[in-house]
């Protein structure tokens, strides 16, 4: 099915847009036409920003965050506590934690979680770097901020056992009722976790 | 809410992606990270294709189709019947008709339909150009391939009255049961249209 038979380059653009996650052929055609309608305000700025970001942004050699500087601006920030490391699966999770504006320590991006299904082994994750950062007494605490899924929790346990011998405290995120969550709509697992971790008022 | 506090250019990319239709802030962040993971195979090709298409693609002065040549390749194709014009609302509709691979005439893209809600008047559409193409006897038939919506049908009636005095036959798309459509799931309007336009077997 040829979406834009009249122009090979337009056709190529639609194909590339269709490779983006969550964008099917129909959305790709819609995006291409929208971009062509907003040539000056969106299409050209997007083209140059994509090229500039692809050129400038690299993974921080210390924490794995994406930034134009290396080490990244979070690792270089003197206001942040370098003695606490927050272990996250991906940069998306790092961003989510930054949006909550609660955490003022450093990060460690694993680049995935252990998973039998997607064939991710410990060697695929940045675990050696994490061990190195926990040795030599520069780190007091490692917070495991991994998803409350099977793979996330498997990875959390694996890391906890990995760091057992090292002089760091390993903690994990609390589980319970989400803010704004209605009890009636919560699953049994969350409710029972919230009940077991109940706190004095 | 700052999605990527550690890099201004990454933040800018997320903002631009968030301006695309159907892409919210969360999808924009996901797209940006996906693009950074596929820097060589997707991000850089997309950047250069966007720039190239923005540079090269223009609206055909004859039919309004988008192409790298002007008049477009459909208008220049000697195998297509230039005496039949198919009037469509947008280039997206033109592409849809081309995918059906049934129509071998020329097109005329209106650039919208008459709409009181979105404040589109006859002056906003390419109607003068359509009248000009129907004068002088170069055109035999005008097919109104407009959506079966209120605005689409209003526009179809308006164009039909506009071309009344000119030496062209004005036709419209058939209405009826879609291919693969189950009667039980069709609305009453479609069923009654299909019944009224019934054909001998």
pLDDT at position A6 is 59
pLDDT tens for B72-123 read 999 999 999 999 999 999 999 999 999 888 899 999 999 999 998 888 899 9
Rounded to 10 degrees, the C-alpha dihedral B129/B131/B136/B138 comes to 70
Angle at which helix A150-162 crosses helix A127-134, to 10 degrees, equals: 40
Average pLDDT over all residues of chain A? 90
Half-sphere exposure of B109 (CA within 13 A, CB side): 21
Pairwise CB contact (< 8 Å): A2 & B53:
no
Chain B nearest-CA distance from A76, in A, is: 10
Q: Is the pLDDT of residue A200 over 90?
A: no
- Determine the residue among A53, A70, A79, A107 to mutate to test chain B binding: the one whose Cβ has the most chain B Cβ atoms within 10 Å: A53
User: Residue B197 — very low, low, confident or very high, per pLDDT cuts 50/70/90?
Assistant: confident
Question: Of the ranges A96-110, A129-143, B4-18, B101-115, which one carries the lowest mean pLDDT score?
Answer: B4-18
SS3 assignment, position A98:
helix
pLDDT at position B1 is 44
Q: What is the mean pLDDT of residues B6-11?
A: 82
Do β-strands B58-59 and B66-67 pair in parallel, antiparallel, or remain unpaired?
antiparallel
B73 interface with A at CB cutoff 8 Å: yes
SS3 assignment, position A120:
strand
Average pLDDT over all residues of chain B? 90
Q: What number of other Cβ atoms are within 10 A of residue A20's Cβ?
A: 22
pLDDT at position B180 is 84
Out of A6, A54, A66, whose CB is closest to B43? A54
Q: Where would I find the H helices in chain A? A: 8-17, 25-37, 44-56, 73-76, 91-100, 127-134, 150-162, 188-196
User: Residue A5 — very low, low, confident or very high, per pLDDT cuts 50/70/90?
Assistant: very low
Pairwise CB contact (< 8 Å): A54 & B33:
no
pLDDT tens for B116-163 read 888 889 999 999 999 999 998 899 999 999 998 899 999 999 999 999
pLDDT at position B2 is 47
pLDDT at position B167 is 92
DSSP letters, chain B, are --S-TT-HHHHHHHHHHTTSTT--HHHHHHHHHHHHHTIIIIIHHHHHHHHHHHHH-EE-TTT--EESSSS-HHHH-TTSEEEEEEEESSHHHHHHHHHHT---EEEEE-SS--BTTTTB-GGGSSHHHHHHHHGGG--SEEEE---SSHHHHHHHHHHHHHTTTSS-EEEE---SPPTT--GGGS-HHHHHHHHHT----
* Cβ-Cβ contacts under 8 Å, B112 against chain A: none
Q: What is the mean pLDDT of residues B9-19?
A: 94
pLDDT tens for A70-117 read 999 999 999 999 999 999 999 999 999 998 888 999 999 999 999 988
DSSP summary character for residue A178? P
User: Residue A187 — very low, low, confident or very high, per pLDDT cuts 50/70/90?
Assistant: confident
Chain B residues 34-53 within an 8 A CB cutoff of chain A: 34-36, 39, 42-53
Matching residue, tokens 């008049």: B71
Q: Is the pLDDT of residue A2 over 50?
A: no
pLDDT at position A1 is 44
Angle at which helix A25-37 crosses helix B91-100, to 10 degrees, equals: 140
Question: Of the ranges A70-74, A140-144, A195-199, which one carries the lowest mean pLDDT score?
Answer: A195-199
Report long-range pairs for B65-68 (Cβ below 8 Å, ≥24 apart): B65/A6, B65/B91, B65/B94, B65/B107, B65/B109, B66/A4, B66/A6, B66/A7, B66/A10, B66/A33, B66/A36, B66/B91, B67/A6, B67/A7, B67/A10, B68/A7, B68/A8, B68/A9, B68/A10
Q: Is the pLDDT of residue A169 over 80?
A: yes
Pairwise CB contact (< 8 Å): B39 & A54:
yes
Matching residue, tokens 């336009």: B197
Please enumerate in sequence order all residues whose Cβ is within 8 A of that of A115, keeping only pairs 6 or more positions apart, or say none.
A151
* Cβ-Cβ contacts under 8 Å, B35 against chain A: 20, 50, 53-54
Matching residue, tokens 């997707």: B42
Q: Is the pLDDT of residue A193 over 70?
A: yes
pLDDT at position A21 is 93
pLDDT tens for B164-189 read 999 999 999 888 888 888 888 888 88
Pairwise CB contact (< 8 Å): B66 & A31:
no
Out of B2, B42, B57, whose CB is closest to A16? B42
ipTM over 0.85: no
Q: Is the pLDDT of residue A61 over 80?
A: yes
């Amino acid at each position: 099915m040829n979406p834009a038979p009249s122009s090979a380059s337009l056709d190529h653009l639609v194909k590339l847009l269709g490779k983006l996650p969550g964008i099917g052929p129909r959305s790709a055609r819609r995006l291409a036409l929208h971009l062509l309608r907003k040539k000056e305000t969106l299409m050209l700025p997007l083209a140059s920003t994509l090229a500039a970001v692809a050129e400038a942004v690299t993974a921080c050699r210390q924490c794995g965050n994406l930034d134009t500087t290396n080490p990244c601006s979070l690792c270089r920030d003197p206001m942040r506590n370098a003695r606490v490391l927050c272990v996250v699966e991906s940069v998306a999770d790092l961003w989510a934690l930054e949006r909550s504006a609660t955490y003022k320590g450093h990060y460690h991006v694993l680049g995935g979680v252990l998973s039998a299904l997607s064939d991710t082994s410990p060697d695929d994750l940045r675990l050696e770097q994490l061990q190195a950062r926990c040795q030599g007494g520069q780190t007091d605490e490692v917070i495991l901020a991994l998803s409350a899924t099977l793979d996330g929790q498997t990875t959390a346990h694996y890391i906890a056992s990995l760091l057992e011998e090292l002089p760091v405290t390993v903690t994990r995120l609390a589980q319970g009722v989400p803010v704004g969550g209605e009890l009636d709509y919560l699953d049994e697992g969350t409710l029972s976790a919230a009940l077991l971790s109940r706190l004095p008022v």
